[in-house]
Amino acid sequence: MKQVEVVAAIIQVEDRFLCLQRKVGKYDYISLKYEFPGGKIEAGESQQQALKREIREELQYDIQIEQKFLTVEHQYPDFQLRMHSYLCSASDTNFTLTEHIDWQWLKVSQLDRLDWAAADIPIVEKLMQREISPNSTKYEDRFISQSN
């Protein structure tokens, strides 16, 4: 079985997270599903380097990587996926879609309204379990204060 290792950016601006809808592709079970942006790690790249490169390529967008969030292993019918997700921030919401067909900026409480790719569901669930305090102003405080 083919093994694929990828990175994903959980991009937050203010109290909203960027959710992207995949276009129709080779595998119907992930076509048109929502996901956090990212992609494959190339030879010689660190996870963080791959994440910044993928976001620049797919969204023409610069992000700041804040901290590692969750590594998900998921068995799809045609491949085994290992996805390393990172909490990220950005200074604005201006990006350009090049690989996806739709986007939404959603609050944590709204994330479960979308039809997510199966590998992204554990990330959504963990985000929703760690409801972010609306009074936090610093990005790091919103997540670190909620850990454990």
Superfamily of 2-144 according to CATH? Nucleoside Triphosphate Pyrophosphohydrolase (3.90.79.10)
CA 136 – CA 23 distance, rounded (Å): 35
The per-residue pLDDT for 140 is 45
The per-residue pLDDT for 4 is 95
CA 10 – CA 124 distance, rounded (Å): 10
* pLDDT tens per residue, range 119-139: 999 999 999 997 654 444 444
Q: Where are the domains of the chain?
A: 2-144
Residue ranges of the alpha helices (H) in the chain? 47-59, 121-129, 139-144
Under-70 pLDDT residues of the chain: 131-148
pTM for the full predicted model: 0.87
CA 39 – CA 6 distance, rounded (Å): 5
The per-residue pLDDT for 148 is 32
- Give the pairing of strands 79-89 and 64-75: antiparallel
